[in-house]
Structure formats: C-alpha cells, structure tokens
Amino acid sequence: MYEQVSHTLLNDILNQIKPEISKQDLRHFYTRLGANFYAIHSLFQRLYGNRADFEQQALRLVETMARQYINRPENLRQMDLDREKDYNWFLSQQWVGMALYSNGFADDLQGVKEHLGYFQELGINLVHIMPIMRCPEGNSDGGYAVSDFRAIDARAGTLQDLNRLADEMHQREILLVLDVVVNHTSDEHEWAQQARAGNPVYQDYYYTFKDRNVPDMFEQSMPEIFPEHAPGNFTWDEQMQRWVMTVFNDYQWDLNYSNPAVFIEMLDIILYWANQGADILRLDAVAFLWKKIGSTCQNEREAHLILQLMKDCCQVTAPGVLFIAEAIVAPVEVIKYFGEDAVIAKECEIAYNATFMALLWDAVATKNAKLLNQGIKSLPVKLERATWLNYVRCHDDIGLGFDDRDIALAGYEPYNHRKFLLDYYTGKFDNSHARGKPFGLNSKTGDARISGALASLVGLQYALENNDLVNINDSVKTILLLHSMILSFGGLPLFYYGDELGTINDDSYLHDAHKMGDSRWMHRPTIDWHKAELRHTPGTIEYDIFSALKRMIAVRKEIEVFADFNNRELIEVENAHLFVFGRYNISQPSERVLVIANFDAKSQSLNLDDISHWASPHSGRMIDLYTGQSPDIFNHTLVVPGFSFYWLGEN
C-alpha cells in the first residue's frame, strides 16, 4: 500500500543508506521493500514509535535487510524467485519431515551428511536439525540456551560442515530446517556478559531489576514453565547484583523485545541463517516474546506484532524462507500464529499442531476417539496458505493442553481425566504398560506433563522386556496407527528420530548431572546404527516398523488429496472407538479418501450409513490405498481391525 508518511520516511532512509549498499543491484530488494514497507513501518511504529530515536532505528532496520540481501547467495536468490511463482509449494503432500539432534542421530553434522541416504530410504525430504549454535558446555537445555547465534557449536561441527550439508541436501531435494531461539539467550552469551559487567546498553537487552518489586508483580500472574527444576521466572545474578527474567531455566535470559535493538539483532540472525541455506526456520517459544505485568506473558498482542514484523522483513530479503511457530498453546491461541484476518500467513506459515498430538495420546490411553473428535471439532479453521506441523512425538514433553470444555463435552471430568492420563502414561494405572515419567510436576497447581519415548509410551518396552508377543504386536500397530494419522490429517508430518525404528527410553541421562533433573532426556536417543541395520531383516521390530512407515510415506506422496488445502471433513460416527475423516479435492470433489482409525484393541464395526455421503458401497469397490486390499464389509457394516487404520479410496 502507498501511504505518504511511510513513503516519505522510506525515501529519507534510502537517501541516507550507506553508499556501499546503495551501489549494489538491489532491484528485487527494492520492489519487495516497496510492497512491504507500509506494513513494516506501521508495525515498527506501533512497537517502537514513542522512542526519540525511532527514525534512526528504522534506518538500521532497512540497512540490516539490505545488507543481508546483498549477502544472500545467488542460488538462494534464485530459489526465492522460484518459490514466489510456485507459492503453494509447501502445502504439497510430497513433504515428509524428521526432527533430530545431530549428535544423537549421527555424532555431528558430518555424520548427518553421511546418513542422508537413510532419509531417502525412508522417504524423508525435510530434516529439522535441532539447535547447533554455540551453547555452554554443561547446562544448555539441549542447545536451546545459545551463547553465540552466529557460530556452530564445536560438538556439532563447523559452519563449513553445515554449508556442505545444506548443499548436499539441496542436491538431493531435502529441505533443511534450523532453529532460531528468539526468546532468550544463554547467560554465557556476550550480551549477557556485558549486562553482567554493568553495561546499561546490554542490560536493556534483557529484563533486569534491582529489587523484587517488579518481579513480584509479574509473578502474580505468570505460570511456571519448569516448576521442578527451574521454579519462578526471575533469577538473582550475583555479579550484576540484579534480578533477571528467566522464564525457562535460570541460565536462559529472556530477551527484551520492547528494545528495538533486540528486534534488529534477532532479525539479522534470522536472515543470517536464511543465508546459510536454511529453507525453513523454527522460531522457538514464540508465545513468550512479549512480557506484560498482570498477564501470563504468553500470546500477547505484541508478540504477534513482532512475528508479523519478522515475517514482513524476511519477505523483503529472503522471501522463499518459511517460519515454523513453536507455540505450544491452546487451539484458539495457536491459530493466531499464522496471522489473523489474512489469506496468506502474516506471521508463520507453519505451526506445531500440539492439539492434535495431545488428542492422539488421549485416544491411545482411552482406546476411544471421544475427546479426539471433540477436540478436532473445536480446532479453528486455519488460513488457506498456512499449514500444520503434525507430530506424534518430539524432543519435548507431552502437555495435556486440551480445553476443559472439550473434556467435559467428551463426557469426562477435566481434573480426573488429566490425572487418569498422567497415571496411564506413567504406568500407574492398572493395565497400562506405558513407561513414561511425569515432567514439570507443579505441586501448587497439580499440573504435569509427560516424558517418554513413543515406543515406551505405547507399551513396546514393557512387551519386549516380558517377551509378550501379543503386546509387542499391539504396540507396533499403535506406532503405525499414530503415524498414519499425522500422514493423512493435512499438514506437514514430522517424524521424530528413532521412532521409525521403535527406539525405547534411554535412561542414561540419569547419570549426567546436567541432565538428570530433566526427564525429557529419556526420549532424546542416540541411534545405534548396528541395530538400525535390522530394519532390513524381516521378522525384527525394526523391520516391521521401518518398512511399514516407508510404505505409508510412499503412498501418502501419491495421494494428492492429502495435500493441505483445508480439504478435510470430520465425520462423526456412532462407534466411539473410531476416528473418521475425509480428505477431498476442492476442485474435483469426487476425488476423495476416507481415513478411518480404530483406537481399540478389538475389531470395531462401522455402520456404512454413517459414511453414506462419503463412500457409497454401490459407487465402486472401496480399497485401502495403504495395503491395496478391500476392507471386510458384512451386512452394511465395515470391519476395522484392532489398532488399525484405513485410507479408503474408490476403485
């Protein structure tokens, strides 16, 4: 949009811009800057307009974008232009991802490069490598406490290793996802060190206070994220003689985004990693970006403005690069991280679908889809050109973040139901074979989350230890069932490394002083590549899981209606053990696939009347696209075997 005030400012900025920048060929940069500047200016002004140095800061912002545009390698600029034309590229069902720690997966970045063939064998073409930036030797929250945003941690390798990996991945058409931890830094970061040494410029990069007055005000309304191992939201720093805000661990200092210098630094870092060849950046803990007294300090309006501004600026310099929002918050809140009142994503194109993840775990524990159905019914419709990141497990805990109203509508009492789930997954409930551990137990609120590897949570570890063939079989089926859901729901499925081999809990963290207080380490495995070879040996668990997932991925890629164009319809059926939804082609409604999941151990029946508007038994033979077989139908009833799924198409 053309608007005089912002345009005048833009002209002033362009006149002042450093000669070495203005001499470059900035054609594409200028067209994009012109297109986005009104929005950039409005957002920047809303956030920082009351400052005397506003115009200088705006100049620095534009210079930052220009400098990083100049640094952007030619092949990446070309990719920007290609993606501009093929703007729906990331909604395709062709993408299937995996998240991993480089050191747990294969020692380091070089190791990851040596194992690229593994991804291709399985069908993975998007790899999220969790934090690899420099972090402290001891406690670093798995790399989420960064001490240098522009260096690779020596334990992961070098910048050259990353560049080589990114090149090789691009040649193999595998997308690279990297983390940018935007909410906080490690206390060993140079900015924190400067703040500690008393430098007021850097103290203003964080929230620091001389006494408890302001912290105590904040604490009245702020929840605790790690109530057990890092209670409270502020830490006293002896050297600085001040309190500093530390929402996560006491060594993770929250950045102060009310300071434009912080915004510009972090934008520069985002663009820096975009220029190192990342296709997608995962922005960590974005719900926490703005702090306000009297609020929970999550999902604040300004946090959204910051993300919009990051997106608008990134579109000028590196428009082909997408953002993933890591906001593990209530469904009505998470949807806002795509941006509101828009068609295309105004903030992040992709967001973690923690709701679906937690609902799937509810269905596994209850053996029915009551809450799953209810929760999905309440999941707000998202923007058209934005997509979910669907996952079963990740490196974090499982939060039981359902809406209490949904729990009640599903027929349970919220407090007791959450307690049941916790007992179930920590193995305290009768008949539960799950081997999880509680995480983040809060004695004040009774809240808790769950840690544990997928295979151990679904009972595979128990079954193996007891050589219980029935349970081995059931837990393998459950692993496949859960993956069939994230592969068909609509969105980007993100596997978690090790799950494709049935990897169980790793208790070695209990012997590491820096990890023992944080049970999430039990599900952050080190891949045993000798054992992984068993994926080629029929009759092994590794083979059963890996080969089934491999087939599922291959089939997904062929089913075009699995692409995400908001083309899903939830179908409520009589039998509560079943979860049923249809996927269709918006422009060709006859092209459709019916997805049916049975969360119970026993076979369940589906009355064909329940799905009559979807799949008429007379219109053709229904065929399960995964197995190539027709399901059993008897007397107008379709039979779904225990812990199984169908992807039904018509033949």
Catalytic annotation, residues:
284, 326
Angle at 299 (CA atoms; ends 296, 300), nearest 5 degrees? 80
Cβ atoms of residues 361 and 425 within 8 Å: yes
Q: At what angle do helices 74-85 and 27-48 cross, to 10 degrees?
A: 80
Nearer to ligand GLC, 161 or 326 (CB): 326
Question: Nearer to ligand GLC by C-beta: 40 or 181?
Answer: 181
Whole-number Å distance between alpha carbons of 360 and 193: 44
Minimum distance, C-beta of residue 195 to ligand GLC, in the bound complex (Å): 19
**DSSP string covering 269-305:** HHHHHHHTT-SEEEETTGGGS---TTS-SSS-HHHHH
Of 401, 222, 246, the residue nearest 296 (C-alpha)? 222
- Paired with 531 in beta bridges are none
DSSP letters spanning 354-399: HHHHHHHHHHHHHSS-HHHHHHHHHSPP--TB-EEEEES--SSPBP
Per the CB < 8 A criterion, the answer to whether 592 and 565 are in contact is: no
Nearest approach in angstroms of CB 401 to ligand GLC is 8
Question: Which CB, 161 or 518, lies closer to ligand GLC?
Answer: 518
Task: Write down the least CB distance from residue 639 to ligand GLC, Å.
Answer: 40
Residue where the block lists tokens 């940018």: 180
Q: To 5 degrees, how large is the angle CA 301–CA 303–CA 306? A: 115
Minimum CB distance to ligand GLC, residue 326 (Å): 6
Closer by beta carbon to ligand GLC, 169 or else 180: 180
* Neighbouring C-alpha atoms within 13 Å toward the C-beta of 89: 16
| Binding-site ranges for ligand GLC (CB under 6 A) | 141-142, 144, 181, 225, 248, 284-285, 326, 328, 395-397, 399
Determine the Cα–Cα distance for residues 584 and 560; give it in Å rounded to an integer.
9
The alpha carbon of residue 607 and the mean position of all alpha carbons in its chain are separated, in whole angstroms, by: 36
In the complex, the smallest distance separating the C-beta of residue 393 from ligand GLC, rounded to whole angstroms, is: 12
Residue nearest to ligand GLC (CB): 144
Q: How far is the CB of 399 from ligand GLC (least distance, A)?
A: 5
Kindly state the smallest distance separating residue 520's Cβ from ligand GLC, in Å. Answer: 7
Which residue, 248 or 643, has its beta carbon nearer to ligand GLC? 248
| Three-state secondary structure call for residue 325 | strand
**What is the torsional sign of CA 340, 293, 306, 496?**
negative
d(CA 207, CA 203): 7
Residue spans of alpha helices (H) in 86-126: 102-106, 109-114, 116-122
Q: Where does residue 371 fall: left (phi above 0), alpha (psi -120 to 50 degrees), or beta otherwise?
A: alpha
Q: Report the nearest approach of ligand GLC to the CB of residue 246 (Å).
A: 11
Q: Which is nearer to ligand GLC, 118 or 144 (CB)?
A: 144
Whichever of 225 and 454 has its CB closer to ligand GLC, that residue is 225
Q: Which helix (H) or strand (E) holds 178?
A: strand 175-180
Q: How far is the CB of 534 from ligand GLC (least distance, A)?
A: 30
CA separation for the pair 470, 455 (Å, rounded) = 15
Helix H or strand E encompassing 165: helix 159-171
- Tokens (6 digits) for 374: 């209810």
Is the CB of 134 or the CB of 395 nearer to ligand GLC?
A: 395
Three-state DSSP state, 43: helix
Min. distance of Cβ 347 from ligand GLC in angstroms? 16
If the CB atoms of residues 76 and 289 are measured against ligand GLC, the closer one turns out to be 289
Candidates 216, 212, 192; CA nearest to 202 is 192
**Minimum CB distance to ligand GLC smaller for 61 or for 289:** 289
The neighbour count for residue 155, using CB atoms within 10 Å, is 15
